[in-house]
Amino acid sequence: MEPKFSKIVSSQMESAAKKAYPCECCGILVGKKSKRGEIEVTEIREASNKIQGEQETAHFSIDPLFLYNIERELESRSLEIVGFYHSHPDCKAILSDEDIKYMVPGLVYTILSVTAQGVMDVKSYTRDL
């Protein structure tokens, strides 16, 4: 099932991808999951890419403490982490082998294909439980 993104959330992700180019951007998708499995993304949280140097153009890593703090904050707002987003600079918006390896079942993974001209494509993926 495709996640629902507002125009504001989509615009924020695209802005993060363009700002980080030619490096990968990364961040957290925040929202709600319905009992029927529908996912609504209501906001994002940009994260710093912990990978530095040459690898920053093809890999990302989010600080676990950052994730923990977001989870604690969201508990009081009845929201949850519903997935992650990241960009693929100068590549298609398809899952890499590394993306597939680290996917958590039930979460959404949104990939933005970005070039010097801007965001070319956006696709979301999930791994079944």
pTM: 0.90
At 49, the pLDDT band (50, 70, 90 cuts) reads confident
Is a pLDDT exceeding 60 seen at residue 77? yes
Q: What is the pLDDT of residue 26?
A: 93
Superfamily (CATH) of domain 4-126: Cytidine Deaminase, domain 2 (3.40.140.10)
- Pair 83, 3: CB distance under 8 Å: yes
**Domain boundaries along the sequence of the chain:** 4-126
CA dist., res. 13 & res. 110, Å (int): 9
Residues 92-120: pLDDT tens digits?
999 999 899 989 999 999 999 999 999 99
CB 80 within 8 A of CB 31: yes
To the nearest 5 percent, what fractions of the chain are helix, strand and coil? 30, 35, 35
